[in-house]
Amino acid sequence: MENKNSKIDSRRKFLKNISSGGILAVAGLGLYSASSCKEKSEEKTTLLTTDGKLVQVSNSEIIKMEGMEHHPATPKEAREGIPGQKFVMVVDLAKCKNAKKCVESCDKHHNLTPDRPYIKVLEMKDNEKSAPYWMPKKCFHCDNPPCVKVCPVGATFKRTDGLVLIDNERCIGCRFCMAACPYSARVFNWGAPPNVDENLAYSPETSLPNKIGTVSKCDFCPDMLRKGKLPHCVPACPNGVIYFGNELDDTVTNGEETVRLSTLLKEKAGYRFMEELGTKPRVYYLPPVDRLFPFESDTKENVKS
Amino acid sequence: MRKIDIKQQKFETPREKDLLRHLISTSLKYKLWIGLLIAINLVGMYAYYRQVRFGLIVTAMRDYTSWGIYISNFVFFVAISLVGSLFSSILKLNNNVWAKPLIRVSEIIAVSAIICAAVIIIIDMGRPDRFFYVITHFRIQSPIIWDVIIISTYLVISFLLLFISILPDIAVCRDRLTEIPNWKKRFYRITAINWSNHPKQAERLNKVSKIMGIAVLPVAFAIHTVTSWLFATTWRPGWNSTNLGPYFVSGAFMAGAAAIIFAMYIIRKELKLHAYITEDHFDKMGRLLVLLSLIYLYFNINEYLGPAFKMVGIEGDQLSELFTGQYAIMYWFVQIGGLILPLILLMFKVMRKPFPIFLISLSVVLGAWFKRYLIVIPSLQHTYVPIQQVDESYLHYIPTWEEWAITISSFASLLLLITILIKLFPVIPIKSEEHDSETIVEPNIK
Amino acid sequence: MYAQDDMQDAKVSLSFSEDTDTKTITATVTDQNGLAAEEVELSFFVKRTFSLLKIGDGFNETDEDGVVEVAFPSDLPGDAEGNVTIIVKILDNDLYNDLSVETIKKWGVPTIINDDKDERSLWAAAANAPITLIISVTGMIFVIWFIILYIIFSFYKISKIKPLNL
């Protein structure tokens, strides 16, 4: 008798555990679905709950646990560069058609309004007789940065991996760095930035959330670099204009083509913009020679391509 | 409450009466003047409230013209504050006895100007709530930090120089003035720090005055040179110049001298001090102004001739905008109306009479203010990379009402500080003149 | 449409040879029966930070013995010890399934990372300012503030002097 009772008890206990576990699991899933998820996809996944039930849950309600989801670096952590890397960018002016997809992608991931992009695609003409060309310009992350020299509180800093970042929890908004940068790479949050996500913890590596009264610029997307992915503008370009890589392993890639940096710069006569200023930029340009298409100055047409 | 009867106040000498009279009597004009200044400041405070609430977007500054009239105003105030050292140091050490009565006015202007400069720079910050970061997180490599250090140092020195000049007269106020409220009596007693004209005290004061007179000069030169380095350390046309330090300092002395003449005239008229600030003072100040203007003219020519000869790239663009373009009217008003014309006119004695020189120095001061505007803003609009595809508001800089309100209110604060200091202390030294036979003291009432 | 059943799994074995100025990778491809696979195109890569760098000539096809040789560039940077990850792949082959083989070899040029984090410069952090700047600025501040404090001290002494008896 006792055995039977204990068996019933243990089975009851087991069922109780299972069902409470199941309820917890479903409740947990329900709670996760209540948290904001930007993209509600219609895709569903079949899951097995702990009490043996098959349920169909839409993908937006499932938290991805691939590897370890890193939190973006805090302002203190962001001062350390990614070890063993020295990032460099090469922009092939011969291929740029002003598609502005890089600008779109950058604006989207940094929550920027279209009037103040980090990337500016400029129409340049070197002299009266040469042809005009498009030049995408972002921050050059100089090795002798004039902006870092003048910051009174050390809100902008140069890292060992070559990046120049901004800590907007320290910026006092004096705008000396904007006066010092000869390439006009920086933008300022004059008013309250739109669409600020208050819950997001500030990270200099994502430059989000934007803060009023502070300065901002292209950051080479260090949050992507830490995961071994390219900055957003690189794969976004439909013409493969932007190459990015690590100077220490002498390789740059534009998402499709991978080439050796030294070979690329030697063969295509890579240069830096206004080299004579001595700021030692980390962005090289390849001259707009042997272009396969004529220059079109009407930007609306170019966006379609 | 004891009743104050101004008529009961007794003075020992007519000199004392003339110089201390305004400390005890408050005219209606004075009250209206203070009222006007406070009203302007209230408008300025409302404008600043709007700026704090909505951000710097209420100004006309945008990503290219990222510095505006706040910064040019700041440079102007630092320039004016150099006048203290002109009198307390250069003229005094050169034994220019005629300038002695004016030392105190110059120090009052210097102290007030440097305080207003410090306030204006905080107003220009995007995050004034983080102002103390320049102390906790300072980077000694930054020219702004050098400027913070030197401005605070100069503020303390100017204040000490003012105090040195005033100290014996505070004692006179403490001893002589009876018909003043009790708080004022206590104020004079405390600030007089037991001054009793003891020979030992006089000896110490003389020694301190000499030391300060020498020490202030390098600091004064440094303050405006370091301010010029805020511009000279950047890659901008018009700023990237090795001439900027001397150019700023010489301009500062000239603008300061003109400001003193302007203040002298008004103080002389309002406080009826015709016997003490004489026509001869105006004459000598006029000649000093000519000398300072010649030095400034020399550096001006140096600043423009080299780049204008080459007319290279954006440097050339910026210069043609100054000479013949968008800023031509302002530029030529500043150069001709603010420098060349006053220089020529003041060479004639008739122009150095009080009223004409007052008008001329007003023109010089206005020219100086707009000169700083021309130093700051056009250079920012000519960048190495072309400005394309931006909003219309990025291409022109026309200051908004908030910026003007705050700027005018900074001037109102300057005048308010000066007025309060003049109301509290005699503006011309009472004591020291009595032992100086070379001073011009003849009653010269015109 | 065609049956995928005849896709075999090939095997790739790598051997490395080095003499004074050349480094060579020899790859041997065998099919699932151990026989040499001819005319199989191999892709040789070196693993880099964001992508794979292709080395070798345009087409690296195995000969009748199933062997192909590729020269390894002698100036390619590796990690701090000179290690590089070499990847050999069979991609989009008609007969064989896709295959990838990885090895690590010490054939790269060792990268000496000069972590100049603590180097003093004008653009370094506040703690790493140039020594001359720190000394001159601090020196000047000390001198002038010493004078100021002396002045203030003099005022204190003035206040302490008792008045002469009247």
Question: DSSP for C52-70?
Answer: EEEES-S--B--TTSEEEE
- For residue A60, pLDDT over 80 is answered with no
Statement: B32-429 belongs to CATH 3.40.720.10: no
pLDDT of residue A30: 43
Highest mean pLDDT among A47-51, A57-61, B158-162, C159-163 belongs to: B158-162
CATH superfamily of the domain spanning C4-105? Immunoglobulins (2.60.40.10)
- Nearest residue to B372 (alpha-carbon basis) of B123, B75, B77, B60: B75
Higher-pLDDT residue of C15 and A152 is: A152
Residue type present at position A166: I
- For residue C40, pLDDT over 90 is answered with no
Higher-pLDDT residue of B156 and B5 is: B156
- For residue B299, pLDDT over 60 is answered with yes
Query: Which residues of C are less than 8 Å from A229 in CB distance?
Result: 50
Asked if the Cβ–Cβ distance from C164 to B198 is below 8 Å, we say yes
Whole-number Å distance between alpha carbons of B379 and B239: 7
Residue type present at position B365: V
Q: Where does the pLDDT of residue C105 fall: very low under 50, low under 70, confident under 90, or very high at 90 and above?
A: confident
CB atoms within 10 A of CB C136: 11
Residue of B nearest to A175 (CA): B66
Residue with tokens 């020195």: B157
Query: Which residues of A are less than 8 Å from C48 in CB distance?
Result: 245-246, 249, 251, 253, 258
The phi and psi torsions of B421 (rounded to 5 degrees) equal -65, -40
Q: Where does the pLDDT of residue C75 fall: very low under 50, low under 70, confident under 90, or very high at 90 and above?
A: confident
Whole-number Å distance between alpha carbons of B409 and B40: 6
- Mean per-residue pLDDT, A134-157: 94
Q: Where does the pLDDT of residue A45 fall: very low under 50, low under 70, confident under 90, or very high at 90 and above?
A: low
CB atoms within 10 A of CB C115: 11
- Mean per-residue pLDDT, B379-397: 86
How many residues would you count in chain C?
166
Q: Where does the pLDDT of residue A302 fall: very low under 50, low under 70, confident under 90, or very high at 90 and above?
A: very low
pLDDT of residue B391: 79
Please name the residues in contact with A291: beta carbons below 8 A apart, sequence gap of 6 or more: A94, A133
Per residue in B116-169, pLDDT (tens digit) is 999 999 999 999 999 999 999 999 999 999 999 999 999 999 999 999 989 988
Question: How distant is the Cα of B20 from the closest Cα of chain A, in angstroms?
Answer: 44
- Nearest residue to B166 (alpha-carbon basis) of C150, C155, C148, C164: C155
Domain boundaries defined on chain A: 2-61, 77-304
Domain boundaries defined on chain C: 4-105, 120-160
DSSP one-letter string for A2-40 = HHHHHHHHHHHHHHHHHHHHHHHHHHHHHHHHHS--S--
Cis peptide before A209 (omega within 30 of 0): yes
ipTM over 0.90: no
Residue type present at position A157: F
Chains contacting C with at least 3 CB pairs below 8 Å? Answer: A, B
Q: Are B126 and A173 in contact (CB under 8 A)?
A: yes
Asked if the Cβ–Cβ distance from A158 to C124 is below 8 Å, we say yes
Per residue in B194-241, pLDDT (tens digit) is 888 888 888 999 999 999 999 999 999 999 999 999 999 999 988 999
Lowest mean pLDDT among A23-27, B9-13, B140-144, C41-45: A23-27
The conformation of residue B350, written as its DSSP 8-state character, comes to: G
How many residues would you count in chain A?
305
Check CB contact of C87 with chain A, cutoff 8 Å. Answer: no
Whole-number Å distance between alpha carbons of B385 and A273: 10
Residue with tokens 């007969």: C95
Q: Which of C123, C158, C160 sits opposite B205 (nearest CB)?
A: C158
The conformation of residue C35, written as its DSSP 8-state character, comes to: P
Query: Which residues of B are less than 8 Å from A76 in CB distance?
Result: none
Residue of A nearest to B144 (CA): A152
Render the burial of C79-111: b for 16+ CB within 10 Å, e for the rest. beeeebbbebbbeebeebeebeeeeebebbeeb
Interface test with A, best of C123, C128, C133 (most A CBs within 10 A): C123
Partner residues linked to A136 by β-bridges:
A121
Per residue in B82-109, pLDDT (tens digit) is 998 888 888 888 888 888 888 899 999 9
Per residue in C130-154, pLDDT (tens digit) is 999 999 999 999 999 999 999 999 9
- For residue A12, pLDDT over 80 is answered with no
Asked if the Cβ–Cβ distance from B201 to C158 is below 8 Å, we say yes
Check CB contact of B94 with chain A, cutoff 8 Å. Answer: no
Question: How distant is the Cα of A144 from the closest Cα of chain B, in angstroms?
Answer: 13
Instruction: Give the largest CA-CA distance in chain A.
Output: 105
pLDDT of residue A61: 60
Mean pLDDT, chain B, integer: 89
Check CB contact of B134 with chain C, cutoff 8 Å. Answer: no
The phi and psi torsions of C104 (rounded to 5 degrees) equal -115, 130
Percentage of residues in chain B with pLDDT exceeding 90? Answer: 62
Check CB contact of B217 with chain A, cutoff 8 Å. Answer: no
Burial category of A262 from C-beta neighbours within 10 Å (exposed 0-12, middle 13-18, buried 19 and up): middle
Q: What architecture does CATH give domain A77-304?
A: 2-Layer Sandwich (3.30)
Residue with tokens 């203040």: B263
Helix (H) or strand (E) holding B247: helix B244-270
Asked if the Cβ–Cβ distance from C123 to A148 is below 8 Å, we say yes
Per residue in B326-372, pLDDT (tens digit) is 899 999 999 999 999 999 999 998 888 899 999 999 999 999 999 99
Asked if the Cβ–Cβ distance from A170 to B137 is below 8 Å, we say yes
Q: Where does the pLDDT of residue A42 fall: very low under 50, low under 70, confident under 90, or very high at 90 and above?
A: low
Asked if the Cβ–Cβ distance from C117 to A160 is below 8 Å, we say yes
pLDDT of residue A305: 30
Asked if the Cβ–Cβ distance from B56 to A123 is below 8 Å, we say no
Query: Residues B198-203: contacts with CB within 8 Å, 24+ apart?
Result: B198/C161, B198/C162, B198/C163, B198/C164, B200/C161, B201/C158, B201/C161
pLDDT of residue A304: 33
pLDDT of residue A40: 44
